[in-house]
Each structure stands twice: as structure tokens, then as C-alpha cells.
Chain A
Amino acid sequence: MHELAPVSPFVALAYLVSGVLFILALRGLSSPSTSRRGNRMGMVGMAIAMVTTLYTHDVLSLPEILGAIAIGGGIGFIIARRIEMTAMPQLVAAFHSLVGLAAVLVGAAAYLNPGAFGILDPLTNEIHNASRIEMGLGVAIGAITFSGSVIAFLKLNGNMSGKPIMLPGRHVINLATLAAILGLIAYFVTDQSPWIFWTVTALSFVIGFLLIIPIGGADMPVVVSMLNSYSGWAAAAMGFTLGNTAMIITGALVGSSGAILSYIMCKAMNRSFISVIAGGFGAEAGPSGGGAAAADRPYKRGSAEDAAFLMSQADSVIIVPGYGMAVSQAQHALREMGDMLKKEGVSVKYAIHPVAGRMPGHMNVLLAEANVPYDEVFELEDINSEFGQADVAFVIGANDVTNPAAKTDKASPIYGMPILDVANAKSVLFVKRSMGGAGYAGVDNEVFYMDNTMMLLADAKKMVEEIVKALAH
């Protein structure tokens, strides 16, 4: 590794093993049946990395270190046990912010005590040039991850409005800040004065904040994935500084994982990554547009009893859940409804759009929590052709992902987005709180006004519970 800290091959090997175990942890997620074994491998990998580090370093401060691990571990464990599944997006954002902050702190510690990290040049007693760049990048990415995730958390948790906040001239401000950060990191190579290091850190905190505030709530799946990616790159940059394979492998894995998830989310919304990052989506949705006209159009309204009757007579029902289901916590009632229908001999399936909810896979977790078997839950491309044969499409808390305007209306902001073809089902039951307030894109949905659509206007959970009651009769 470095001149001051020669590493025994066994130590390097141990870090490599933990890197490989992390790869296997992700590999396990290719199927629910292997996923838990994978997760355990991840835990073992982490234990190996931590023990190896402690073993190879001075043990004088071991009590403090173990105390710190116990405090943090205890807090983490309690949070993990108590958190509601519907709050998972917030939790992930909060965890990202901690990785970011930890990266900043490690970077700062390395800057203050470079000798400990073996990054001092023994001749000049200054930090290696390469290490300065790695450190600068690591701290910058870490700080962006931290402040960006804090904003994402506040928006997802409802402490801050999900509406985009648009500063005038924000693109200029952002680009200038970004340029200043990169310029200072480059300058850091020639001059390792503290002011440069701390200015880079401070500016990075600011830009993380500026980057996320103009992004609306519905774009959060992309943002959360992107911050996931950043937390990985921050770990990788620190891994370069430390010459640690476990950190580098993990950073690369997490970095690519987040990047791929952002790509999948963008594709599912037919939007470019740049346009999401530029922000402001959903802000221009004027109520003067679709909203006002919508109130005058005729639609059919049904009751829970109507819905129960229709579904009990059907051969097949496809349920399309969306963010609204998560908000009203309707998943348990929904599963009960599904069970009762199955008892009557109805085939019940669930169709999930990739961007349903506030993070990738959000709906799947909620359905799993409610004990819906995962082999009844299908992804968009696997089930979309089945709507044509389905008797009932039961849409609950989803809207834009079912909007045919995405296929037909070139002027629509969601044009080109792949949708679930609920309109092809013989009848559509659409659970929605009220007719006002379209989806996040602010576009009216033709499905509401079709002859074979029945609107069930109520809170999602209440409506489903009433349907369950009606089915029991």
C-alpha cells in the first residue's frame, strides 16, 4: 500500500474476501428465495472488514471504538425494528445521509492526520498528490450525498413540501458552484492549505442542498437511487485514499447499483436523467389546465357494494396499486380483499409499474408486508398483455401510470411513458380520493370518463375495507 503502512498479504486477502462477500450479497437478490442467504453473506463480509481493521491497528482506543459501534449499532437496530414499511423511502434517504456524513468525517480525519492513513510523502512530509484528489472528491461527493439526502428525507417525510422549489437562476448558480468545487480540488494539488479543504467541503454541502430542492416529490425514486449511487462513489473515493480493496469493490458495486436504478426509473417515466436533475417537474401543472375542465365531465360513480358485486362475478381481477395505497396503508385490507375473491374462485393478480410509489420496489415491499405471495405480483412487461383478458382492473392509489395519454397525446407531459393498459380490461374500478387533483404530472386521465370505468371516490383503505365487508355478505 504505502510506505508507512506495509500491509501483510493476509490483511489484503481479508479485505478482498469481504469485497467478494458483498458481491454475493447483491447476487442473492436475484430471487427472493436466495436473498436472505445473500444478506447474511453481506453481514459476514462487513464483520470481516471491521475485525481486520481493528486487528491491524493500535488497540489502545478499543473501548471507545467498541462503545461507538454499540451506540450506533443499537440506534440502527432499534430503527430497523420499529420502522413502518410505508416509511421505507424516508429511512433509506436518512441512511444515505449518514453514509455521506461518515465519508466527510473520514475525509476530514484523513486530512488532519494523514500519517495514520499512510498518505504522507516521507520526503516532503506533505500529502500525496493523488491522495489529495481522491480525498477532495470523496469529501465533496460525501457532502453532496449528505445534504441532498437530508432534503430528500424532509420531502419524503412530509416535513417539507414535495413541491419543487425553484430559485431564479439556479442552473447558473449550480454550475458555478460545481465548477468552483472542481477547480478548488484541482488547486488542492498544488496547495494543501486548510481553507481549500474546508471550502470544498462547505460548497459541496451547499450544492447538495441546491440540487435537490427543485426536484418534486414524484421524481424522488430517481433522486433516492441517485443518492444511493453517490454514497457508493464516496465510499470508493475513500477506498482509493486508503488503498482498501473492500471499500473500492463496495463503492463500485453500490455506485453502479444506484446508477442502474436511476436509469430504470428514468426509463419508466420516459424522462432523461438530465431533465429530472434539472428539476421542476410537476410545478407547472396549472389547475387552469386539465383540472377545471375535469370537474364538468360526466363520470360514473360506484359504491363499495357495486365494486364487490362486480369483482365477485369476475373470473379474473388485476390489482394496480400506487403511492395512494402506501399513503393510506391499504395493503393489508387489499390482501384481505384478494383472499376473499380467491375464495370465490376469482383469479387475483397484482400489476406493479416500476415508478409506482416513492422508491424502486416500494409497492412490492408493501404487498409482501401484507403477506401477498410474491408469485402473484407481476412487473409491467410481464402482465400488461393480460389486461385484455381481465374482467376487472382494480386501480388503487395509482393514476399517471395508467393514463392512456402517455400513448396518444404528444403534448402531454407524460407522453412516451410506458403505462399499464388498464383501459383494456372489461371494467375498471378506480379508487381515488376525489375527482379533483390529478396525479403528480397534473394531467387528466381519460380512464376516469370511460363507459366501463366506475370511480370509487374515498380513502383507499376505507374503500377497500367496505368492499371486504360487502364481499363477506
Chain B
Amino acid sequence: MDFIAILSIFVLACFVGYYVVWSVTPALHTPLMAVTNAISSVIIVGALVASAEAGSLAAKLLGLVAVVFASVNIFGGFAVTERMLAMYKKKERK
């Protein structure tokens, strides 16, 4: 992909992010932070590439360490978000 194509995706995604995030209810701002944290760990993709490719042992080790950190975040982030969201309950109607 050339640079301009990537840049277009980036700029459009910023706008999508802007509108989507404004529609998040303030009551869920803490889960929002937890889940954005989890998804920003998609950086694990880079870490996986580094650890899968031969060529540099140092790069591979750095990659593996990054995989560990990003995994803490992914699993921890999604799990804690799930736990929080499960707590939000409506009034029981009698």
C-alpha cells in the first residue's frame, strides 16, 4: 500500500473515532478507557512479525517480550472491561 492510501485510512479513521467516541455515554467512560487500552495492543501484530521472522536474534527476543506485554494488555483489558460491563444493571421492574 502506498503512503497516501494508508494516510487516507488514518485520517478517515480519526473522524470515525471522533464521532463514535462522542456517542459513548459518560457512564461508560471507564470501560471505554479499558477497552481502548485492550485494542491498542493490536500493536502485538508488529511484535508477532518480529518474533516470527528469522534474521536477527535480538529483534526476535524484543518481539517476544513485546508479545508478552501486549498479551497482558489484550487479555487483561478485555477481561476487565467485560467484568465492569457485567456490573451495569438496569432497575428491576416489578
Contact = CB atoms under 8 A, between A and B. Distances in A.
Interface of A: 1, 12, 18-19, 22-23, 25-27, 29-33, 35-36, 38-39, 42-43, 45-46, 49-50, 53-54, 57-62, 64-65, 68-77, 79-81, 83, 85, 88, 91-92, 95-96, 98-99, 101-103, 105-106, 108-110, 112-113, 115-117, 130, 224-225, 228, 231-232, 234-236, 238-258, 260-261, 264, 352, 354, 359-362, 364-365, 368-369, 371, 373-377, 379
B68 A72 contact: yes
A374 B88 contact: yes
Given A35-B85, A374-B88, A102 B36 contact: no
Contacts of A60: 52, 54
B13 A31 contact: no
Nearest to B24: A29
Considering residues A71, A88, A95, which has the most beta carbons from chain B within 10 angstroms of its beta carbon? A95
Interface string B1-30: 101001001110110111011111111111
A248 B10 contact: yes
9 contacts: A26-B17, A39-B31, A65-B48, A76-B79, A98-B41, A117-B46, A253-B20, A368-B84, A375-B91
Given A49-B42, A81-B79, A29 B25 contact: yes
A68 B16 contact: no
A92 B22 contact: no
Given A361-B27, A375-B91, A251 B40 contact: yes
A375 B29 CA distance: 16
A39 B39 CA distance: 10
Contact of A58 (B54, B73, B88): B54
A64 B90 contact: no
Contacts of A113: 50, 53, 55-56, 58-60
A252 B18 CA distance: 9
B86 A80 contact: no
A365 B25 CA distance: 13
B43 to A, nearest CB: 5
A42 B35 contact: yes
B13 to A, nearest CB: 4
Given A1-B1, A68-B71, A252-B10, A258 B36 contact: yes
Considering residues B36, B37, B41, B78, which has the most beta carbons from chain A within 10 angstroms of its beta carbon? B36
Interface string B46-83: 11111111111011101111111111111111111111
Nearest to B47: A106
Contact of A79 (B22, B48, B72): B72
How many chain B residues sit at the interface, stated as a range, is 35 or more
The majority secondary structure among interface residues of chain A is helix
A76 B29 contact: no
Given A32-B85, A49-B42, A68-B51, A377 B27 contact: yes
A30 B85 CA distance: 12
Interface of B: 1, 3, 6, 9-11, 13-14, 16-18, 20-56, 58-60, 62-92
Nearest to A77: B75
A386 B25 CA distance: 20
Given A45-B39, A235-B42, A243-B6, A57 B48 contact: yes
Contacts of B74: 46, 72-73, 76
Nearest to B30: A361
Contact of A39 (B26, B62, B78): B78
Nearest to B26: A379
Contact of A26 (B3, B32, B50): B32
Contacts of B77: 76, 80, 95
B76 A75 contact: yes
A213 B36 CA distance: 24
B36 A105 contact: no
A380 to B, nearest CB: 9
Contacts of B32: 26, 29, 257, 261, 360-361
B31 A29 contact: yes
Contact of B43 (A64, A85, A102): A102
B69 A101 contact: yes
Given A31-B25, A253-B16, A109 B50 contact: yes
A362 B29 CA distance: 8
Contact of A364 (B3, B28, B49, B66): B28
A375 B70 contact: no
B63 A106 contact: yes
